[in-house]
Amino acid sequence: MKTTEEILDDNKFDVAVDFDGVIHSYTSGFHGFENIMDPPVEGAIEILKDYIANIKVAIFSTRASCPEGVAAIKGWLLKYGLTQEEVDSLTITNSKIHANLYIDDRSWHFVGKYPSIKYIKEFKPWNKK
């Protein structure tokens, strides 16, 4: 019988990439799960294509909490240059999954110290600074 760690490793992704603010530029803000208004972040599609060709990739988003949101993400990825095969190779989820690395615009790189309350209250993602 496999251990929990072995089961997790079988389903582990090399990278999990946030959608809004990392792939989708998200400059217009949220307009519903199905409405993805803005173009990609510069270089996002090219790097996704490279990742997909070489490593196991997941995309995470709160949009993926409903089927319409997942369909909207897939449609947006196709619109901006991913092939159907590339889109089909992705896992799109709203859950934190087991991944070697997360790419997210709203994160703190934890290295043994926690952010201050001031930092948390004043935090802005890269595209809002």
Give the C-alpha separation, 42 to 104, whole Å: 15
Q: Please state, in angstroms and rounded to a whole number, the distance separating the CA atoms of residues 92 and 57.
A: 9
Total of domains in the chain: 1
Helix (H, G, I), strand (E, B) or coil at 58: strand
Q: Residue 3 above 80 pLDDT? A: no
2-11, 74-83, 117-126 — most confident range: 74-83
- Evaluate if residue 4 carries a pLDDT over 80: no
Q: CB burial class (10 A; 0-12, 13-18, 19+) of residue 23? A: buried
- Taking the C-alpha atoms of residue 74 and residue 69, their distance in angstroms, rounded to an integer, is 9
Full residue range of the structural domain in which residue 61 is found: 4-128
pLDDT tens for residues 36-95?
999 999 999 999 999 999 999 999 999 999 999 999 999 999 999 999 999 999 999 999
With cut-offs at 50, 70 and 90, classify the pLDDT of residue 5.
low
Residue 54: exposure state from Cβ atoms within 10 A (0-12, 13-18, ≥19): exposed
